[in-house]
A and B are shown apart, each in its own frame.
Chain A
């Protein structure tokens, strides 16, 4: 099990509940037809917990994340942070995409402090910008523009930018998906370090089963058409985790097997044959 019960460290106010949420979209080719992207999804994330959402493409992982971020509104159901309903985007729920989406017209420093300006807190919290640059190891790059950065560095800036407002929940939408294998493993440790230091509740969407097992307290498996939560698996391994530990490998083959039967067969076979 996880050694530090997260609820002791973080306050209950940063727990997250998704209650029976469904989301419909108009079909891209015919706006009159509705496509069900999420069907009766319920999920409860304790404060300070790190949860991975995995599943084949089209299972609604990103849709769920956008709903939690408040960027979309559910067709039915309710989302709660602590006891408050989510009605729109807010600085208390940070979001990091696969593409770092740094503002290219701002330097690294100004990208990181963008959140402070947006919340009108720049005067009071200016000193924190430097702390966050140090936290993600970018002290020397304050004046660099985003296109000078490598993919890994850009993603670290994106993490710092999302963390500067001290969000209760950090939503990560395949943040490491575009990185090469080597950088990705370093960044996994980096994200874990940030999580352990700050105990932010984290939701990580990923395609990578190893990443999910390596990082999270719990893995939520989703299946497509319509997207729903199929299973939730506790990862009871000590951190730092060893990717070749027999328990790790057993968990990995369990999930693969499950996806093979429950999910999109093609996707599952493709990942199983790796």
Chain B
């Protein structure tokens, strides 16, 4: 909301002022597509990534002279391609302001990540500070990732199917129960105790029971993930619905709204911010449950792969799976953020995202 003095101003200059205010973001975006309007990148930003990569390369070449060439060749190529990409980007950003904006944001972070790789290599292969089979060098991890790419891809695919299956079933059930508990007093009376008593049990605690009851490990894993998602989403949906501002409901009633309108067009949109908090929490618990379920029950997926590789003491593969997990989970998280940005576009400017 505008503060009173701003309100006054806006009112005095009536439409012009407000149009300017609402259209400003759009105007800004148009302006940044001209390259003259976005300041040039500082030299330090431009050079950060190439410098970091060159240092990492130098360290790598110095250390790996003692190592068999087969295991280090890929890592050298990897660093080389990062260097090539950084140089190419430095040239292209002169013409492409979108890339420049992205680089301003990302260059320091990529440089820091490269530096971390360099440090990791120095303390593993270089100084031998960490016991070897457990802590392989980044070169070895990359090597195992590429060697085992088919199994890794397959595992990621299985994890994705399991996760999305369990998550969507859990969300659908949770929205139904959450809306009922939030809206209907009777559902609240009977549902809330169940939710409060059963909900907080971590879904993974049900594993022994799930294994006995369910005909297949995959089904029980889907059920457990759904259960893990169900609790936070139900809780936050119910609280979002029951905290709908009474005045919105009053207004809707005087507009002739019936119960369906009140639930689906007032209470649910009003509860959306709260529902999304539940969806994010549910996603976190679903990752955890997925990995545990795959480790102990299901014979596929990234969780299974990690424990399998560990059984063979192939820690390069363990790390490779962890790297893929990080990319996999953060991509899904980002996707949910994008959905949130779309659905809650009306909140933009009201709250800090």
Contact = CB atoms under 8 A, between A and B. Distances in A.
Q: Do A and B come from one complex?
A: yes
Interface of A: 69-71, 88-91, 93-95, 97, 99, 101, 103-106, 114-115, 117-119, 140-141, 144-145, 147-153, 161-162, 165, 171, 179-180, 182-183, 186
Nearest to B351: A147
Contacts of B10: 150, 153
Interface stretch (B28-36, B157-165, B217-225, B244-252): B244-252
B146 interface: no
A119 B256 contact: yes
Cβ-closest 4 pairs across A and B: A91-B256, A150-B10, A89-B253, A115-B255
B15 A97 contact: no
Contact of A105 (B1, B15, B253, B269): B269
Contacts of B269: 103, 105-106
A118 B247 contact: no
A41 to B, nearest CB: 20
29 contacts: A70-B253, A88-B253, A93-B254, A94-B255, A95-B250, A95-B251, A95-B254, A97-B247, A97-B251, A101-B245, A101-B248, A103-B251, A103-B266, A114-B252, A114-B265, A115-B255, A117-B261, A118-B257, A141-B22, A144-B18, A145-B346, A145-B349, A150-B10, A150-B18, A151-B4, A153-B11, A161-B255, A165-B256, A179-B7
A101 B255 contact: no
Given A104-B346, A105-B272, A106-B346, A183 B8 contact: yes
B263 to A, nearest CB: 12
Q: Tell me which of A99, A103, A118, A145 has the highest count of chain B C-beta atoms within 10 A of its own C-beta.
A: A118
Contacts of A105: 269-270, 272, 346
A91 B22 contact: no
Given A101-B248, A105-B269, 4 more contacts: A103-B266, A114-B265, A148-B22, A162-B255
Given A99-B247, A105-B269, A118 B255 contact: yes
Given A118-B257, A180-B7, A101 B1 contact: no
A153 B11 CA distance: 8
Contacts of A149: 18
A152 B256 CA distance: 25
Contact of B7 (A94, A171, A183): A183
B181 to A, nearest CB: 22
Contacts of A70: 253-254
Interface of B: 1-2, 4, 6-8, 10-12, 15, 18-19, 21-22, 245, 247-248, 250-258, 261, 265-266, 269-270, 272, 346-347, 349-350
Contacts of A186: 11
Contacts of B251: 95, 97, 101, 103, 161
B11 A89 contact: no
A91 B255 contact: yes
A149 B127 CA distance: 63
Nearest to B269: A105
A24 to B, nearest CB: 20
Contacts of B350: 104, 147
Given A105-B270, A148-B21, A140 B256 contact: no
Contacts of B248: 101, 103
Contacts of A145: 346, 349
Contacts of B349: 145, 147-148
Contacts of A97: 247, 250-251
Contacts of B252: 114, 118
Contacts of B261: 117-118
B256 A115 contact: yes
A182 B8 CA distance: 8
A257 to B, nearest CB: 31
B173 to A, nearest CB: 24
Given A105-B346, A119-B256, A152 B11 contact: yes
A180 B270 CA distance: 29
A243 to B, nearest CB: 19
B318 to A, nearest CB: 46
A74 to B, nearest CB: 17
Given A105-B272, A140-B19, A144-B22, A150 B254 contact: no
Given A91-B256, A118-B258, A183-B7, A101 B247 contact: yes
Contact of B250 (A71, A114, A183): A71
Contacts of A165: 255-256
Contact of B254 (A89, A99, A106): A89
A140 B15 contact: yes
Contact of A151 (B7, B247, B270): B7
A182 B11 contact: yes
A141 B19 CA distance: 8
A130 B266 CA distance: 23
A182 B270 CA distance: 32
Contacts of A180: 4, 7-8, 11
B69 to A, nearest CB: 61
Contacts of A144: 18, 22
B162 to A, nearest CB: 33
A162 B4 contact: no
Contacts of B1: 147, 151
Nearest to A139: B15
Contacts of A117: 261, 265
Contacts of A88: 253
Contacts of B256: 89-91, 115, 118-119, 165
